[in-house]
């Protein structure tokens, strides 16, 4: 961010012997993210291969195009609608956990949200529960955290970034043990779901005991996918499920936590959001939200978007050039890494005046009109945009609205978050809030 202030919205840095063009400008961001040919991810993504293989996040070329085409239908809104019950039941557990913090001293909201988001994505992706909120010491939870830490460490370590030297480090052995747990769990769940699908292929199994249509987890949909009349190989299914476990919990944790923190700091914004919820739930004060209720949370969506602008969970998107290209009268050489720094792009003063100010009105329909879709990229943009962004927005709305309906969030004066990167953007000094009970 210091370099952006010093050199402007486009500048080159060297990481070891690797040149990198850092982009904080919408036009250059569009050139990169909008491209259908610059799709190769940069070198640091390879540190995820041992865990995620070449799933949707890490693959490129033909495999990425095939997988994207195959998986896109699983995020149709009618399928997303089925997950609202998962969001609601897990946020109910979150509320129970937060009750013990009411009228106590300030506490960091982040760890609570992490466990809730992990429970949500596990149930949605695999149709099973790790019970993270009730068992925060679970092996799966601990090893997800370890792998996220290792990936970031390897990106910046002059020793660990090289495959030849990495096995000499302590982290190598930690990673091997973590992968045994993570892959072991995913493979076990896939095997179990496969057996259930085979045994339940009779007509009666498409509905539960009440006659309601059964919800299919993301894994179930993958198990039903076919390519050239053949089911997907076990390894491909595991890669995609692991990818969703990785991408779908830390990112939404960051988004929900920063949004709740901002709501605590700006009481007038919180009041506006709560009034919107009161009007939505006027005839159903203690009820669960429907898909339409979540769609009607227009102001809360603006709050979430502004929070994601200031603290986008994914701090950067990077690609490497496989051939020399021309851009804006310049030559960009083969091998150059292009990196959109979303944290800087979202603070470009030409697009967002007074960028450090928290102002949800930036995202009102009239203020958003005419803004480049590449000026604001919390879910990336272009052909490799986040396939789960609608799922994420519904989850964030559901969880945040449940907290707001139960608690008033009060600020911790003088606290300012210190942004740091641990695979995603977190606050190095936590996100503390006070809670009191709300009369909704």
Which helix (H) or strand (E) element contains residue 332? Answer: strand 330-332
Q: The tokens of 267 are what? A: 């009481």
423 Rama class: left (phi>0) / alpha (psi -120 to 50) / beta: left
Q: The tokens of 127 are what? A: 């149709």
Distance CA 59, CA 243 (A): 11
Which residue in the block uniquely carries the two structure tokens 């897990």?
90
> Which residues pair with residue 436 across a beta bridge?
408
Residue 222 vs residues 70, 71, 72: alpha-carbon distances, Å: 9, 8, 11
For strands 424-427 and 419-422, give the pairing: antiparallel
| Residue 225 marked in a binding site | no
What is the number of other CB atoms lying within 10 angstroms of the CB of residue 305? 18
Distance CA 234, CA 223 (A): 9
Distance CA 385, CA 33 (A): 8
Residue positions forming the annotated binding site:
386
Residue positions forming the annotated binding site for heme:
386
């Amino acid at each position: 961010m210091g370099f952006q202030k010093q050199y402007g919205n486009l500048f080159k840095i060297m990481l070891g012997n690797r040149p990198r063009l850092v982009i904080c400008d919408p036009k250059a961001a569009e050139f990169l993210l909008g491209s259908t040919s610059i799709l190769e991810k940069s070198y640091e993504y390879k540190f995820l291969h041992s865990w995620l293989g070449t799933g949707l996040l890490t693959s490129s070329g033909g495999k990425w195009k095939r997988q994207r085409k195959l998986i896109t239908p699983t995020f149709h809104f009618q399928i997303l609608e089925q997950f609202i019950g998962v969001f609601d039941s897990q946020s109910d557990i979150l509320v129970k956990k937060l009750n013990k913090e009411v009228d106590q001293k300030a506490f960091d909201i982040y760890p609570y949200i992490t466990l809730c988001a992990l429970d949500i994505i596990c149930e949605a992706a695999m149709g099973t529960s790790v019970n993270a909120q009730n068992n925060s010491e679970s092996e799966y939870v601990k090893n997800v955290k370890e792998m996220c830490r290792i990936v970031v460490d390897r990106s910046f370590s002059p020793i660990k970034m090289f495959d030849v030297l990495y096995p000499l480090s302590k982290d190598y052995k930690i990673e091997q043990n973590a992968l045994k747990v993570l892959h072991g769990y995913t493979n076990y769940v896939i095997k179990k779901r496969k057996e259930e699908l085979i045994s339940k292929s009779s007509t009666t199994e498409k509905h539960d005991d009440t006659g309601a249509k059964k919800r299919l987890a993301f894994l179930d949909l993958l198990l039903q996918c076919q390519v050239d009349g053949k089911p997907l190989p076990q390894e491909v299914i595991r890669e995609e499920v692991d990818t969703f476990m990785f991408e779908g919990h830390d990112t939404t944790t960051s988004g929900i936590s920063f949004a709740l923190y901002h709501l605590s700091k700006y009481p007038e914004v919180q009041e506006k959001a709560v009034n919107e919820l009161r009007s939505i739930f006027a005839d159903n004060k203690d009820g669960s939200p429907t898909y339409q209720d979540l769609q009607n949370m227009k102001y809360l969506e603006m709050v979430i978007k502004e929070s994601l602008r200031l603290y986008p969970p994914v701090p950067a998107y990077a690609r490497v050039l496989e051939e020399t290209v021309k851009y804006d009268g310049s030559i960009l050489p083969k091998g150059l890494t292009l990196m959109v720094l979303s944290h800087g792009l979202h603070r470009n003063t030409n697009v967002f005046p007074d960028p450090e100010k928290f102002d949800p009105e930036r995202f009102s329909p009239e203020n958003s009109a005419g803004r480049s879709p590449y000026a604001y990229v919390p879910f990336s943009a272009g052909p490799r945009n986040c396939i789960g962004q609608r799922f994420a927005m519904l989850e964030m709305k559901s969880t945040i609205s449940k907290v707001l309906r139960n608690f008033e969030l009060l600020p911790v004066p003088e606290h300012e978050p210190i942004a740091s990167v641990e695979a995603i953007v977190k606050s190095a000094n936590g996100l503390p809030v006070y809670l009191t009970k709300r009369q909704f």
